Amino acid sequence: MNIQKIVAKYKIFIDTCTWMFPQAVHFLENELPRALYSQRETVKLPVRVIDEVNKHLKSEIKETRYKARKAAEMIKLYIRGKILEGFGSSADNFVDQTILTVFTNYRTKYHLAFITQDRKLAQDVDNLNRQKSVRSNKHILVLTINQFGQLSPWNFNLQESNIQELMKKSSHKSENKKIPFSPSREKMKKLPLGKKVKVGIDHPLPVLEIPQLNQLISTRRFGPLRLIEKVGSGGEGDIYLTSNGQICKIYKKTSITQAKLEKLCIMLKYPIDKSGICWPQDLVFNSRQQFVGYIMPKAVGKPLQRSIFVKPLLQKNFPYWKRSHLVQLALAILEKIQYLHERNIIIGDLNPLNILIKNEREVFLVDTDSFQIAEYPCPVGTVNYTAPEIQGKKFGGFLRSFQHEYFAVATLIFMILLPGKAPFAQQDGGSPQENIKNGNFPYPLGQNTTGKAPDGPWRFIWSHLPFKTKEAFYRSFKEQERLNTMEWIQVLKHYEYTISKGYLSDELFPQGHKIPAEKRTTAICQEPYCGKEFDIHIDRKKQMVENGNKLICYKCQEKIQEEKLMKNLYGTENEITSKDQMGSFRSNGIDPHQDPFLFDPSQMAGNTNQPSSFLQNFLNRFKS
């Protein structure tokens, strides 16, 4: 907007919240003084604004004191420069009432302009333009300073009003008050459990522009941020590293819906302050103040799917790992899932692409906007992690239960301990969906066996698991007696203990079955170009011969499985990434060693280290 023309035509009024708004500093110190001096005009200031600023100077909140100090400095400069004119008195009850009284009394005499960050007061003042009982050829202009530090007219559109209503109980108030963290209080903040899916809210919201790389975005909590590096993309939109080191998810236009907005607003009302859970921190807006995405903490590491679930990649990424490291990794993930479950949060799509691994004890859950929150379902899922009773259902049409989640948890643990192997994969079996629906779990427990467990390292790993762990999997997959997350934590702690005491092997990939001495025999590998002798369980050898199967040593079985897995992994790239996996940042993701502060703070509006303002330089000429 042309501030020169506005100052020439309108009487300018500014309230307290604008003087204390960090993004308004450049405008107040440079653009507005230039226009006032050139037009020989003044800003009109209620005296109560000075009282309010003085009150904020004594605030217990450091950020509020800083804003008030900056406001006081600018007001003093305006007074010295004789471009500020006070009105009213300290006896006035409220600044808002003083503004409304002045505008009501003088709206027929002058063109009036009001700059405020207060939506309700802005609307009250703007409504004076539509008073039918008073006729006037004068106009009231209601303005604000947007998150980019630019003067713009207030936009009282439905989307913004909707966001304000959704966020009115949010923990991020207008002053951004910092409440000390209290574990006991935080534990009490459980989200409500939804009873049925909220319908009629999947309609798109109006968006005129989608921010791109190197452009500015606006947030309420963190101010303006720049998108400095694109680190991922998917079906819903793009992922960027921002100028403050956090991550921003920018949705595509088709993904910006009322449902998405409402879900994120609820998540912001129930903040999660847990390391490794990349919970939304704030909404993101474009230059027109339209909702386009959200801010989340930065995650580091590689997706579980691409770093653990294929043996060569596991050995490359974590060459020192043993079996105990897998157990510790599973416990680290379970601890975060348990944290969410205690707060009535169901993940829904427990996808290994959305779990980033830094090491066995540091993991990150990303893509949290897809979680099931209250009456807003998780709209996506994968076959292997979907409970039999909901196979084939449209995920966005119902709310998952904790029992559904427990099936996914058991599957995830299985695929960590048997790296990358789905629990229902088997010899001579049906499709994964059919096997899950029919409960065709192929691994044995005692005398209960189907004889269809996959050949190779999977049988070996299974045989080395403690009975308690095998029993937990058998109950979860065969008998539909699913363990909850805390029960799984206890099972894995027992496994960790048995390894630490040397009761069970710590080999990542055991070289064969766990064979009692009295049951051990040998066989000759029948794979071409091998012919080596190897140890084998006498009953296993007998079964293989009776079924007409080749006797193949461990190393040859391993080679065959690796070739098959690598082909599956890289031969179906499009299928793997067809749904939105933005939260995973891709396997080459974000460099954990990269300096996140790649912007010049002096360029940010409101920074006290910025070059001297026009007003300061102008006044310096008159120093004695």
pLDDT tens, 245-263? 999 999 999 999 999 999 9
Kindly indicate the confidence band of residue 149, based on its pLDDT and cuts at 50, 70 and 90. confident
Q: Taking 50 as the threshold, does the pLDDT of residue 205 lie above it?
A: yes
pLDDT band at 90 (very low <50, low <70, confident <90, very high): low
Q: How confident is the model at residue 579 (pLDDT cuts 50, 70, 90)?
A: very low
Q: How far apart are CA 147 and CA 444, in angstroms?
A: 62
63-72, 336-345, 350-359, 404-413: range with lowest mean pLDDT? 63-72
Whose tokens are 């994120």? That residue is: 264
Tell me the whole-structure pTM to 2 decimals. Answer: 0.64
Give the orientation angle of helix 47-56 with respect to helix 95-106, to 10 degrees: 160
pLDDT at 434: 93
Q: What is the pLDDT of residue 588?
A: 31
Res 33 pLDDT > 60: yes
DSSP state of 275: T
pLDDT surpassing 80 at residue 166? no
106 Cβ partners below 8 Å, 6+ apart?
Answer: 11, 112
Tokens of 372: 């099931």
pLDDT in tens, 290-333: 999 999 999 999 999 999 999 999 999 999 999 999 999 999 99
**Average pLDDT of 281-286?**
94
Answer yes or no: is pLDDT of 474 > 90. yes
Nearest residue to 405 via CA among 355, 487, 346: 346
Pick from 312, 299, 308, 347: which is nearest to 330 by CA?
Answer: 308
SS (HEC) of 330-359? HHHHHHHHHHHHHCCCECCCCCHHHEEEEE
Average pLDDT rounded to a whole number, residues 100-127: 89
Spatial neighbors of 392 by CB under 8 A, at least 6 apart, are 433
127 and 133 in contact (C-beta within 8 Å)?
no
pLDDT (0 to 100) of residue 320:
95
Query: Of 6-15, 126-135, 511-520, 584-593, which one has max mean pLDDT?
Result: 6-15
Give residue 95's pLDDT band: very low, low, confident or very high (50, 70, 90). Answer: confident
Backbone angles phi, psi at 193, to 5 degrees: -85, 130
* pLDDT, tens digit (0-9, with 9 covering 90-100), for 398-455: 999 999 999 999 999 999 999 999 999 988 778 899 999 999 999 999 877 777 888 8
Q: What is the pLDDT of residue 587?
A: 31
For the cut 50, the answer to whether the pLDDT of residue 171 exceeds it is no
The pLDDT of residue 157 is above 80: no
One-letter amino acid for residue 53 of the chain: V
pLDDT, mean of residues 101-105: 87
Q: What domains lie within the chain, and their CATH numbers? A: 3-156 (3.40.50.1010), 215-296 (3.30.200.20), 302-501 (1.10.510.10), 517-563 (no CATH)
Segment 190-202, tens digit of pLDDT: 999 999 999 999 9
pLDDT higher than 90, residue 338: yes
Task: Name the token pair of 323.
Answer: 């079996």
Average pLDDT score over the chain: 83
